Amino acid sequence: MLQEVDETSAIRGPVTMLNTLKHYQVGDGACIKVITTKVHAPLRSQSSVKDDENFAVKYFHLVDPDIDTDLSKHPEKKALKFKEMYLTKLLSTKVAVHSFVENLFRSIWGLPNSKAPLAVKYFFDFLDAQAERKKISDPDVLHIWKTNSLPLRFWVNILKNPDFVFSDMEKTPHLDGCLSVIAQAFMDSFSLAEQNLDKHSPTNKLLYAKDIPQYKQEVKSYYKLIKDQTSISSQEWKIFLQEESKKHQNEFNESAALRELYKYMLRYFNEVRILGYHRTCTLLCSRGSFTEHFHRIFRHTEATEILLRKPILPL
């Protein structure tokens, strides 16, 4: 019969360790029958912590919370106590959701039919062209550019805040913590730095430590496949933008957008006017002076009825 406390319990000073399966040398796969005793022998020894009604003995399970009285010398031990206690549960939870997380990650950096979305291909080609123009040959630089521009700027934000996409979703503090762990694993997959983890490392990094190397290889393949894909012509890009515009033509309020631009221009009118006299800005306005373009924008925005009526400052 397995008991929490018996004559074989280990005693360390004033502390008695509770018996565990390891203490009884119960191996994996063993069958255990749990029973509730209805009759207590009056002369039998203590078998449970509950039998110690006077709390005469101090017990602990895996880690003695007071074993290190001077935590100032070893502050990491306090954190380790919680890690050892909850890491098993965290691993079980990770296993339960692992397939869903992997499917999510691979749907982001996966390429259906080995073809990237036109917008992603066009933008990554632009970054490649900029690197070539500036004579940057280090592949790590391009990797960082692409990672910072799309995965870290866009996808991480969605992973941590799915309520941005699903308006009916309530993100509780507990869920927020779980999403942060998943988002961290996603970021680590795109990182070029090698992870040197030990028992003092954050638990969220330890959870995916074995998966990250595989994810990193998949990310590198993702970038390579996009780079090797045939470049998009200007005509293809133009057609793509027109089609996307038609898809969302009823979702975009042009008048509201113009109003916000108009308010912005009025707010920074002096700065824009000074910039207009700058030679660089004048050269960019190939079809006329900056002043003419500025007046044309004001006339167009004024013609929109919903715009705020404010006097236009003279140029």
CB contact burial 253-279 (16+ within 10 A = b; e otherwise): eeeeebbeebeeebeeeeebeeebeee
Per-residue confidence (pLDDT) for residue 43, from 0 to 100: 46
- d(C-alpha 243, C-alpha 240), whole Å: 5
- β-sheet bridge partners, residue 58: 15
Per-residue confidence (pLDDT) for residue 132, from 0 to 100: 94
Per-residue confidence (pLDDT) for residue 124, from 0 to 100: 96
Question: CATH 1.10.506.10 spans which residues of the chain?
Answer: 78-234
Q: What are the distances in angstroms from CA 53 to CA 46, 48, 300?
A: 11, 10, 85
Per-residue confidence (pLDDT) for residue 287, from 0 to 100: 44
Per-residue confidence (pLDDT) for residue 45, from 0 to 100: 53
Task: Determine the 3-state secondary structure of 52 from DSSP.
Answer: coil
DSSP state of 24: T
Find the angle CA(75)-CA(93)-CA(19) to the nearest 5 degrees: 65
Question: CATH 3.10.20.90 spans which residues of the chain?
Answer: 1-67
- Is 1-67 in CATH node 1.10.800.10? no
- β-sheet bridge partners, residue 16: 11, 59
Per-residue confidence (pLDDT) for residue 83, from 0 to 100: 56
Nearest to 120 by CA among 233, 252, 243, 232: 232
Q: Which residues of the chain have pLDDT under 50?
A: 43-44, 49, 54-55, 78, 282-283, 286-287, 305-308, 310-315
Which numeric CATH code is attached to 78-234?
A: 1.10.506.10
- d(C-alpha 87, C-alpha 209), whole Å: 13
Q: What are the distances in angstroms from CA 60 to CA 12, 15, 18, 110, 288?
A: 10, 7, 6, 49, 82
Per-residue confidence (pLDDT) for residue 152, from 0 to 100: 95
Per-residue confidence (pLDDT) for residue 206, from 0 to 100: 86
Per-residue confidence (pLDDT) for residue 311, from 0 to 100: 47
Contacts of residues 202-205 at CB distance under 8 Å and 24 or more positions apart, as own/partner, are 203/83, 203/86, 203/87, 203/90, 204/180
